[in-house]
């Protein structure tokens, strides 16, 4: 079955003064996939994401999101996407349920805070303040805020940075559930294991250019077919697997 593009980026360029942060990149995100922008610090991932999210102006190039043009149809795009809000917007005196109420008012939609918290397994924290959550809980709450307007696409910028192995794996599971529910997910990461585990397709970004787009399997098979061999013998498990086996899979809320 031919895959349908839900985001199309063509020849995107972003200059900050003389500095070319994004240097003519083109890619498509398919409907219903988890698409990863991978690359080192400063590669231009966040800049690209923020331009697609209509939060930042491009220098040149064209972008359509769910059939809408980024310049002409900004409001229609905003209604169809879910973006992680900066933690600074989480008013310290409000609890999680009150924050969801506040954000749904800002989006002009009506949602049940408990249903939103249920999606990210945080109903027992409905009365807690954001600052009192663990790192994994903070990320889950942040993901809940992206889902309030029932978006077609959500954008997650380095969603697992700083989380422990259990929290990372559980967050991957949550992101897969969101994809399986029909929402397209675009994430940035510089963790290659995360991309391999989670993403249906990935684009490597380096120095403002895209240097390859494919499924993780194809990239790896291609490299192996070219004669590449790992120096160290590959074991059937790694240290992270040992850690998970010894400490369990549940969320750590400490
Ligand atoms: N507002 C700005 N003014 C000037 N330069 C900027 C601005 N925002 C980003 N840059 C520069 O553009 C480049 C790309 O930044 P960007 O944040 O898009 O990278 P990234 O791939 O998301 O990296 P990271 O993984 O570190 O978040 C960096 O060199 C950064 O310093």
> Which tens digit of pLDDT belongs to each residue from 45-96?
999 999 999 999 999 999 999 999 999 999 999 999 999 877 667 888 999 9
- Alpha carbon of 203 to ligand 1 centroid (Å): 17
Residue 114: closest CA among 75, 84, 144:
144
* 50 CA closest ligand 1 atom index: 18
* Prediction ipTM score: 0.94
Cα 58 from Cα 52, distance rounded (Å): 9
Torsion angle, CA of 90/79/119/198, rounded to 10 degrees? Answer: -100
Residue with tokens 């349920």: 97
What is the three-class DSSP state of 4?
Answer: coil
Domain ranges of the chain: 5-89+152-247
Distance in angstroms (rounded) separating the CA atoms of residues 251 and 144: 17
Answer with the residue of higher pLDDT: 41 or 25.
Answer: 25
Supply the residue whose CA is at minimum distance from atom 24 of ligand 1. 41
Summarised one tens digit per residue, pLDDT across range 165-217 is 888 898 999 999 999 999 999 999 888 889 999 999 999 998 899 999 999 99
Fold (topology level) of 5-89+152-247 = Rossmann fold (3.40.50)
Strands 19-30 and 5-16 turn out to be antiparallel
Distance between CA 59 and CA 17 in Å, rounded?
10
pLDDT at 101 over 50: yes
The two three-digit tokens of residue 43, written as one number: 């590669």
Atom nearest to 47 CA in ligand 1: 18
Beta-bridge partners for 27: 9
pLDDT tens track for 123-167? 999 999 999 999 889 999 999 999 999 999 999 999 988 888 888
Contact 80, 153 (CB under 8 A): yes
Q: How far is the CA of 5 from the centre of ligand 1 (A)?
A: 26
- How far does residue 46's CA lie from ligand 1's centre (Å)? 7
Residue 243 has pLDDT above 80, yes or no: no
What's the whole-model pTM score?
A: 0.90
Query: What pLDDT score does 254 carry?
Result: 43
Q: Is pLDDT above 70 for 252?
A: no
CB distance 45 to ligand 1 below 6 Å: yes
Confidence grade of residue 250 (pLDDT, cut at 50, 70, 90): low
Distance from residue 245's CA to the centre of ligand 1 (Å): 38
Inform me whether the pLDDT recorded for 99 exceeds 80. yes
Does residue 187's CB lie within 6 angstroms of at least one atom of ligand 1? no
Q: Which residue, by CA, sits nearest to atom 30 of ligand 1?
A: 42
Q: 208 C-alpha vs ligand 1 centroid, how far in Å?
A: 10
CB atoms within 10 A of CB 229: 8
| Tokens representing residue 154 in the block | 């959500």
């Amino acid at each position: 079955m031919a895959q349908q593009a839900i985001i199309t980026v063509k020849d995107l360029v972003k200059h900050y003064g003389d500095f070319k942060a994004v240097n003519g990149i083109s890619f498509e995100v398919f409907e219903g996939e988890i698409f990863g922008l991978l690359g080192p610090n400063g590669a231009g991932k966040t800049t690209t994401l923020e331009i697609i999210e209509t939060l930042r102006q491009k220098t040149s190039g064209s972008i359509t999101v769910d059939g809408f043009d980024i310049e002409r149809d900004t409001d229609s795009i905003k209604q169809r996407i879910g973006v992680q809000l900066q933690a600074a917007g989480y008013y310290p005196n409000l609890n999680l349920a009150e924050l969801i109420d506040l954000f749904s008012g800002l989006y002009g939609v009506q949602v049940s805070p408990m249903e939103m918290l249920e999606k990210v397994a945080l109903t027992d924290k409905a009365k807690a303040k954001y600052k009192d959550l663990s790192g994994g809980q903070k990320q889950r709450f942040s993901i809940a805020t992206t889902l309030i307007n029932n978006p077609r696409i959500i954008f997650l910028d380095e969603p697992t940075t700083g989380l422990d192995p259990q929290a990372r794996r559980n967050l991957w599971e949550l992101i897969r559930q969101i994809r399986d529910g029909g929402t397209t997910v675009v994430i940035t990461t510089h963790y290659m294991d995360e991309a391999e585990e989670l993403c249906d397709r990935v684009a490597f970004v380096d120095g403002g250019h895209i240097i390859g787009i494919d499924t993780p399997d194809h990239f790896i098979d291609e490299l192996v077919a070219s004669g590449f061999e790992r120096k160290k013998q590959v074991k059937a498990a790694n240290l992270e697997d040992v850690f998970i086996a010894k400490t369990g899979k549940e969320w750590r809320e400490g």
